[in-house]
Amino acid sequence: MWEEPPISGKNGSGAVFFSGCTLKCVFCQNYEISQCGKGYYVTENELADEFLRLRDMGAENINLVSPTPFLPSVINVLDRVKHRLGIPIVMNSGGYERVETVRALKGYIDVYLPDLKYFSGELSLKYSGASDYFENAIKAVREMADQVGKPVFDSKGMIKSGVIVRHLVLPGSRADSIAVMDALGGNFSKDEILVSIMRQYAPVYKAFEFKALSRKVSTFEYNSVVSAAEKYGFDGFTQDADSADCSYTPEFYSVK
């Protein structure tokens, strides 16, 4: 229930979390599955059944969270059941994707929900282990927007297709966050994408090893980034300060 309003809606998003991630973010709230390998194995048939089960439970969409390492199998599953689902397929990722990967998903993904985490290569290397993050992520997001087009909503306000770019504001990185907004403003028209500026950062995992990351984001930092996005006229979403609470982190289990 904790995604953006047009993703979660009334019934909730059908989130399927995949273990493993293309990034190594020291502050990842889902580090147990993204970096520690927590989870369990499923066959393609079982994954197909899970998608259908979520649909039958009333999920607004099937939300694939960090699926990149498993995309060949995911595509096989969607070949079998996408026509039966009748709800959008969302790809929820860290944004660190090859353009070729995004192109291979044409026709499978209806809504892209990528992060655009950093502008600075120094910062992305320090916190996520990827010095070439921005140059790859901005190209991937450009391909996503070209592929699915401008956001389209149904009569209930649920997104049916389009791109929502997320940016998590980090403490001590206000200038970099503003640079990210400037990059979005320079690469996308105001109606091409939606922008979600997140304030939910709370120190977890290895974040405490970095002094700058050992606190929450200040109101000044967050509002500065929101103002930078507003300058370009983007529609989108913001978060209240109380979103920075580890109680919103899902609990993961290793046994099926």
Nearest C-alpha neighbor of 15 from the set 56, 65, 57, 55: 65
* CB of 11 closer than 8 Å to CB of 58: yes
Per the structure block, which two tokens stand in for 179? 């640079």
Give the model's pLDDT for residue 241. Answer: 87
| Distance, CA of 177 to CA of 117 (rounded, Å) | 8
Instruction: Determine the CATH number of domain 5-247.
Output: 3.20.20.70
Tokens 């956001």 belong to residue: 151
Per the structure block, which two tokens stand in for 72? 């060949």
Residue partners of 102: CB distance under 8 A and separation at least 6: 112, 140, 143, 144, 147
Between the alpha carbon of residue 213 and those of residues 26, 72, 174, the distances in Å are 9, 35, 12
| Distance, CA of 124 to CA of 144 (rounded, Å) | 21
Domain ranges in the chain?
5-247
Give the model's pLDDT for residue 243. Answer: 78
Kind plus residue range of the DSSP H or E element containing 100? helix 99-104
| One-letter amino acid for residue 141 of the chain | V
Most distant pair of Cα atoms in the chain: their distance? 49
| Distance, CA of 77 to CA of 97 (rounded, Å) | 21
Kind plus residue range of the DSSP H or E element containing 6? helix 5-8
Dihedral angle computed from the Cα positions of residues 252, 238, 227 and 169, in that order, rounded to the nearest 10 degrees: -10
In tens digits, the chain (256 residues) has pLDDT values of 989 999 999 999 999 999 999 999 999 999 999 999 999 999 999 999 999 999 999 999 999 999 999 999 999 999 999 999 999 999 999 999 999 999 999 999 999 999 999 999 999 999 999 999 999 999 999 999 999 999 999 999 999 999 999 999 999 999 999 999 999 999 999 999 999 999 999 999 999 999 999 999 999 999 999 999 999 999 999 999 887 676 666 666 665 5
Radius of gyration of the chain (CA): 17
Provide φ and ψ at 154, rounded to 5°: -90, -175
Nearest C-alpha neighbor of 208 from the set 171, 178, 173, 161: 171
pLDDT tens-digit readout, 207-252:
999 999 999 999 999 999 999 999 999 999 999 988 767 666 666 6
Could you tell me the pTM of the whole model? 0.95
Positive or negative, the CA dihedral 169, 164, 104, 149 is: negative
Give the model's pLDDT for residue 248. Answer: 60
Give the model's pLDDT for residue 256. Answer: 52
